[in-house]
A and B are shown apart, each in its own frame.
Chain A
Amino acid sequence: MTISREDWEKRLAEVRINKDDLNKLIMNYLVIEGYKAAAEKFSIESGLAPAVDLASIEDRMNIRNAIQSGNVEAAIEKVNDLDPDILDTNPRLFFHLQQQKLIELIRDGRINDAIDFAQEELAPRGEENPEFLEELERTMALLAFEDTMRSPVGDLLDYSQRQKTASELNAAILTAQCQEKDPKLPSLLKMLVWAQNQLDERMSFPKVKNLITAELDSADMSVTL
């Protein structure tokens, strides 16, 4: 079965999309991805009030950057200024931030500080939640190796570990602001691709192959089933 390009476009034209919904979708993307200035401009031009305080986007980005550059303490202070409930009501996240701080101390070769910090801050958290102990022990194992990078726990020193911690914190801030962890636009595009693939199994139709131009591709229209 085949649907002609003409017919397809006619059907597409019948679909009504609310302009307001589109604006919200864009605002959602800008806010969650942290484009504060763009969100501000877009808010003015579209007349759409953002669901969160735009200043908090910048705070969130600063917090993320602080973790990514290894400054966990600054990140903790900033997040406590932004919303003191986040770390107070989220023991797992708080433990991961403290663990990251321990990793940074070890990375800097401040071994005595690292041991003091682990005893003072991390051990009590492990006692409150025994499920954290394994991760704590793994982190402490870094101290046992001469060449930490090549050790079996070397992955903790990777940039990806900072990234992981930063993402977890970012997600918690978004949750506290009643925002989704991920913007809706990418999932919408994924749904488009999936729906096209499903339909493709049954019939031939003009597809969107290039998501950036969103042009209808009728190259394979010659093939009919």
Chain B
Amino acid sequence: MTVVAQSKHQLAVEALARRESPQHVREAVRFIKNVIIGNPTKKDHYLHSLDLAPRMVECLRVFGAETELCMEIATVVASLANGCDQNVATLVAAGIMPPLFSALSSPDPRLVDAGVRALRSIVQRPALPGEQVFELAHIQGLTALVADAAENPSSISIHIAEVTAIILARIAESSTAARDAVAVGGTISSLVKWLDPRWSSTPRVQEAVLDCLASLSLDNTRVARSISMSKLPDGQRVVNAAFSLVRDKRPSMRLAAASCITNMHRAMAIPRELQPSIVLVLLPTVIRLFSDAAQQASAGSAGYPGLATISERAMALFATLVADNQELQTAAMEADAIVKLAQIITGLAAAEATAEQGSKSAKQAKQHGVSWDMPRSPDAFAGLAVSAAAAVDRQRESALQAVADVCGLKEECRKQVIDAKLLPHIVASLSHHSTGVRKAACRCTRSLSRSVKNLRTSLMDAGIAAPLFNLLFDTSIDVQIEASATLCNIVLDFSPMKKIVLEKGGVKRLVELVAQPNILLRRNALWALKNMTFQNDSEIKRDVMQHLGWDKLLVLMDDGDLVIQEQALNLLRNLACGKESANIFGVLERKLQTMAAHPEIVLQTLYIIVNLGIGNLEHKTAMMARTGLLQHTFAFLDHENPQIRVAAIWCVINLTWMDDPGARERVIALSALGIEEKLRRLVNDDNLDVKDRAATALSNMQGSLSAAGGSSSTAQPTSATGQTAPTVGDSSPAAQHDSSDTML
């Protein structure tokens, strides 16, 4: 007998440890089950204070043949896993998975049912490292359960099929490899059987199957097409069945069918005759599901605690559906999606404000002893209030993401976002405590900043530059990546916010980010620097060069990442203003030599040479001395890409303006390289641009040779081509090429 009185909970766990008899253990497990169901604090207590998990694993091993006992343990596992992510991590670490898998091969369907319930509760938590736990044999075992039930329907076997389909859906979500593993064999045909109207009285298994089919067809064209065209027992195709179920009275069914159709749509697996239903049926259904939010998001209603609500999932699905699709973005706007999202975001902001108020007064009440005096877990209140707040945060994140995607392409959609007075909420969300919300707010800002009008007015007036800039210092690297990508648009030359970013030390920070290990962050930061130096403002350029320096820039031009190389060359092109040295010529020559197969690199390199060719006599003479560079440059006069041919011709043009000192000598040297002959051919080029520029170059060369220089009646840099000749910076032919990918 112990002196210290043990709690009934300690005694129960001890019974599992002693394993006196299956009956004793079973009684203890039943006791635990009825204590923890519905009780998050007790779940935590059993797992993390009383160390229940390894005791259960041991009992499942020792008493594997005791069906009733194993059922009860599996039920306890499911309930513990329903509690929170941490519980799942503890259970998996204790080794609960192998005995659960063994339970699935039991001849007793009740044990199989309890086993799949436990697995479902575990896999639906994101804490689980999906692929590490499931082997092919497990997946095959699970698919067999779905197939068996349809052959032998009873209410328990139908339930097993439902829960198993959810497990398979979660496994399939984890990776493409997992999707392929699940989709092999007869899985799809076993699943689609359940969509037959014959099973309409058991809608949950149909929802689970749709959910699973949606996961399998996620970014998976082949599987999506095969699912779409699969036939139900009654002869109709899955895609038609999904379109009937998307009109179901159950919101969860509508959402599951809508996810399925959306993934098929993205895989272009919707047959032509059903295409109009995407706008007419699918889109309005998904938008209506937003507002089921109100009831479902409220605490205390049914659902697994901490898992996504229907509204949250509907908004995420909407974002996926309309992303990169102009037609659907317009249709969504016309269906008032933006107005509804604005209502939700406004409502959430108000709820958040009230909750903050409430938690303050509750804490005060606690201090004054008004609240229930709790002898244990003083942090329980804070912890659980946090989990409720996390649900609100996720809701806000999904809503903002939906806004970002619905106004990604169309100016009219951006206008509606501004008109719906969402900007103050977006600005506030940039400084939100949730990482996901900050990221989504960055994406909204990026979508809105694709409009020149917004850059000049709304975004400037809303004061978005400062909070956005601060996110370059965010604790989350993901937020830094989003913020730097968004900043690329904010610092464009026509944006008044460029000045704010510069004043705050934008150049210094971006140069720091370029030195970070994360490739996306480096790309974005370099891109932003390039956009900053887009116009001929030597102060900014000096600033950039001071922080970055030639050495670093030269290193970046040899980066392992092609995008970084391209952007570095692009930046150099913007910076190049007669500061060249032999060093740069060497780099450029090497680029043209080694990167000839990468048109984007070649193009950037050629335009740097174009810009250098504008310099004074000294620069030009230095360049002419690099015969190797010239040979490589002019080899591109014959390149198959007309943009590259044009760039190479511009190099000739800038070296041959007949009023420039030393033009005659250069023309003679260039002719010796066979340039004139090549230009003659290019005058007959198929490409108009090439033709025109070649004519200009040719007339420059011929003019220089005939007139001994100095005649003011001949072509001038600014008038000869009807276009400003390339000067330093990007306001030239180069600018025309560059503007297409300047905005992000």
Contact = CB atoms under 8 A, between A and B. Distances in A.
Contact of A91 (B33, B202, B305, B362): B305
Contact count band on B: 35 or more
Contact of A84 (B37, B204, B362): B37
Interface stretch (B75-83, B468-476, B487-495, B544-552): B75-83
Interface stretch (A36-44, A128-136, A159-167): A128-136
Q: Which among B78, B79, B302 has the greatest number of chain A C-beta atoms within 10 A?
A: B302
A125 B156 CA distance: 32
A48 B380 CA distance: 51
Contact of B41 (A87, A90, A118, A124): A124
Given A84-B79, A84-B117, A89-B303, A126 B372 contact: yes
B353 interface: no
Given A94-B38, A128-B388, 6 more contacts: A76-B37, A77-B34, A91-B301, A130-B362, A131-B298, A178-B203
A88 B82 contact: yes
B155 interface: yes
Given A124-B41, A129-B299, A85 B117 contact: yes
Task: List 5 A-B pairs, minimum CB-CB distance, nearest first.
Answer: A94-B38, A92-B300, A123-B372, A53-B155, A51-B201
Interface string A82-114: 001101111111110000000000000000000
B39 A92 contact: no
B384 A87 contact: no
Interface residues of A, number: 34
B124 to A, nearest CB: 11
Interface in B366-385: 372-375, 377, 380-381, 384
A51 B300 contact: no
Interface in B93-145: 117
Interface in A44-74: 51-53, 56
B681 to A, nearest CB: 76
A178 B201 CA distance: 8
B327 to A, nearest CB: 37
A52 B155 CA distance: 6
B385 to A, nearest CB: 8
A2 interface: no
A213 to B, nearest CB: 32
Interface in B197-221: 201-204
Interface string B538-574: 0000000000000000000000000000000000000
A91 B374 contact: no
Contacts of A125: 39
Q: Which among B39, B154, B375 has the greatest number of chain A C-beta atoms within 10 A?
A: B39
A132 B304 CA distance: 18
A127 interface: yes
A119 interface: yes
B424 interface: no
Nearest to A51: B201
13 contacts: A53-B154, A80-B75, A84-B75, A84-B78, A84-B117, A85-B78, A92-B300, A94-B38, A121-B39, A129-B388, A130-B358, A131-B298, A178-B204
Q: Which among A76, A123, A126, A172 has the greatest number of chain B C-beta atoms within 10 A?
A: A123
A92 B38 CA distance: 10
A131 to B, nearest CB: 6
B40 interface: yes
Given A84-B33, A178-B202, A178-B204, A128 B373 contact: no
